[in-house]
Amino acid sequence: MLLPDNIHPENSIYYNGAFVIESLKTKKGCKMLDLFQEVKGKKQMSFSVFILCIDWLYLIDVARFNSNGEIELCS
């Protein structure tokens, strides 16, 4: 759930997605595991939450996979 009502907001996909976006802003493209390590250095999160954030950002056209298989922000 993006904004759950039964847990703390800092555990939501919406909140954690902001850390993924912040990390993607500093790079043109980034491999998934490299991006996860960078995000995890800023905000402790599980890999499953990270993947849900990537999925959500992809669905709302904020992030995409380029031809090299790297994740980047949509322009």
User: Which CATH number characterizes residue 46's domain?
Assistant: 1.10.10
Question: Residue 3 falls within a domain, yes or no?
Answer: no
Q: In the chain, which ranges are E strands?
A: 63-65, 71-73
Question: Residue 1 falls within a domain, yes or no?
Answer: no
Question: Residue 2 falls within a domain, yes or no?
Answer: no
Question: Residue 51 falls within a domain, yes or no?
Answer: yes
pLDDT single digits (tens) 13-60:
888 999 999 999 988 889 999 999 999 999 999 999 999 999 999 999
* Total number of domains in the chain: 1
Which residues contact residue 18 at a Cβ distance below 8 angstroms, ignoring those fewer than 6 apart?
Answer: none
Question: Residue 52 falls within a domain, yes or no?
Answer: yes
Angle between helices 32-42 and 47-59 (to 10 degrees): 110
Cβ pair 50, 16 in contact under 8 A: yes
Percent of the chain as helix, strand, coil, to the nearest 5: 55, 10, 35
* Domain housing 62: 9-73
Confidence (pTM): 0.85
Q: Can you give the pLDDT at residue 29? A: 86
